[in-house]
Structure 1
Amino acid sequence: MGTVEAAYRPTAGSALEVDRAFYRRLAATHDQHKLVDSFEIPIRSGRAWKVPQGHICRLVTIDGPQVADLNVWNAHDPRERMWAARTRQLQRAHVSTFDRLWSTLPFLRPLVTVTHDTLSGYGVDGDGGRVHDLLGTRCDPYVNRMLTGENFDFHCHSNLVRAVLPYGLTEFDVHDVLNVFQCTGLTDEDRYFMKACPARPGDFFEFFAELDLLCALSTCPGGDLSVPMWGPDARDPLDVCHPIGVEVYQPSHDLLRGWQQPVRAAYDTMHGLRVPQWQHTR
């Protein structure tokens, strides 16, 4: 087979070019950052929190493997939120260090940049599985009802809905997620598969906030996904569920020297429309 190039390739000076030295320095000086917030998200629940621009957020598997579904918004304008599909195209279908999560139109700018990922060495397994998945999306009670005929209120979609309510958001604001710590891929029939989470206690996924962010995270009711939730072998995977730790750090001003908040997309948003030129007649 021939080698094909990625469709979306950076040109010199584009936003797809990442200052790796800057983000590598942030990761290397973690012990110097100030911890400003930390909490634990219990199993089968969700929580939302703010991460100021220029801060670092770390998601940690506290005491065992656990998949977590992440949503991200601009804290000042929730119409700007993570765009999973475009991120798949601009970055990868499974993200890791130096990849970015991009925002929706008409903003189109990086919301976060991944600075450290202890699972970056997982690579591609024998089944084609990779971790930190953008291929799929959150589990939800609507599909569950369709597949099982039963209601279940603690799928990731519902957990995220409850999490964002205190911030004035609703179910309509919950969007396609980054499945942190989740191992997925495509079968030979081009169908989506999920595997058991390879994370161990203390593994983490860390990102830098390029804007003031509102984040929300669900601890998936499937836990580490080692137990099928649907199909003939399905059973309740409660015993493979674990909490997720969240930590927010503030780097020193010196470390942020030279960094600038990314600007909105430069396109003029006219889409071929023109402002009418009125003619005045006597």
Structure 2
Amino acid sequence: MSETSELHTLPARSGRAVRLKKGQSIRIINTHGQQVVDTWAFNAEDLREFMSMEHLRPTIGSIRPTAGHKLHTNRRRPILTFVEDTSPGIHDTLMAACDNYRYGLLGCTEYHDNCTDNLFAGMQRLGLTPPECPSPLNLWMNIPVHADGSTEWGVPVSKPGDHVVLRAEMDCVVAMSACPQDILPINGENLKPTEAHYQVLD
């Protein structure tokens, strides 16, 4: 693969989106090591078809995609392939994107930046409006699942500079949010969201 774009910043607490042609890839970089990046993909020709965690899990037979897995849509077609992962491989497919309602449950009484709004803002930068906020692939989010079915909010185990590469299996739009969570230790024990970076690859 060769790089076709410069290194782009995904600002802390913000969202961005990028168009990929079939065969192109995106490298998403965990620049500081413990930043969760909520990630979505939509069919460029029909935004009603999108990467779906509910459809991905039974297709790959796991709650955690790894390099080599194809990531499927709500129409059960591959939209991305998980090509490369330099991190320990701890990602989440269970948790919905945070939203202002979620922060209300966590005690916030005023508006809080959130991944749902970041999705719509990132897509709007391309002049697009998704039909809904699907459950994202939460890159580097650590959600341990215990034998009794309970879950917990773990600290990321990723390292500075860890990255994943996702290859487009159709023309698509990939959207990303640098998760603004600063109440739970989703982005590290210091509760400080940071920027990430991304590049488009041929």
Normalising by structure 1, report the TM-score: 0.65
How many angstroms does 1:211 deviate by? Answer: 0.6
CA contact (8 A) 1:137 1:178 kept: no
Deviations 1:241-274 (A, max 9, x none): 2211111111xxxxxxxxxxxxxxxxxxxxxxxx
Q: Say whether 1:55 aligns with 2:29.
A: no
Change (3 A) 1:192 1:116: same
Q: Say whether 1:114 aligns with 2:92.
A: no
Greater RCO between the two (CA within 8 Å, min separation 6)?
Answer: 2
How many angstroms does 1:218 deviate by? Answer: 0.4
After superposition, where does 1:134-173 map in structure 2 within 5 Å? 134-166=93-125, 167-170=127-130, 172-173=131-132
Change (3 A) 1:148 1:51: same
Report the AA paired with residue 86 of structure 2: T
How many angstroms does 1:150 deviate by? Answer: 1.8
Runs of 4+ with >3 A deviation: none
After superposition, where does 1:207-226 map in structure 2 within 5 Å? 207-222=166-181, 224-226=186-188
Report the AA paired with residue 70 of structure 2: R
CA–CA separation in structure 2 for the residues paired with 1:157 and 1:151: 16
Partner residue in 1 for 2:63: 93
Report the AA paired with residue 101 of structure 1: L
After superposition, where does 1:1-282 map in structure 2 within 5 Å? 30=1, 33-91=2-60, 92-105=62-75, 108-119=76-87, 122=88, 131-166=90-125, 167-170=127-130, 172-222=131-181, 224-227=186-189, 237-238=191-192, 241-250=193-202
CA contact (8 A) 1:57 1:208 kept: yes
Structure 1 residue ranges without an equivalent (≥5): 1-29, 124-130, 228-235, 251-282
CA–CA separation in structure 2 for the residues paired with 1:152 and 1:99: 37
| Aligned pairs, number | 197
Deviations 1:30-64 (A, max 9, x none): 4xx13235311110001111111111111001233
CA contact (8 A) 2:35 2:188 kept: no
How many angstroms does 1:226 deviate by? Answer: 2.9
Report the AA paired with residue 95 of structure 1: P
Whose Rg is larger? 1
Report the AA paired with residue 174 of structure 2: C
Work out the percentage of aligned pairs sharing the same amino acid: 25
Report the AA paired with residue 225 of structure 1: N
CA–CA separation in structure 2 for the residues paired with 1:213 and 1:96: 20
CA RMSD of the aligned region, Å? 1.9
Normalising by structure 2, report the TM-score: 0.89
CA contact (8 A) 2:57 2:63 kept: yes
Moved more, 78-87 or 182-191: 182-191
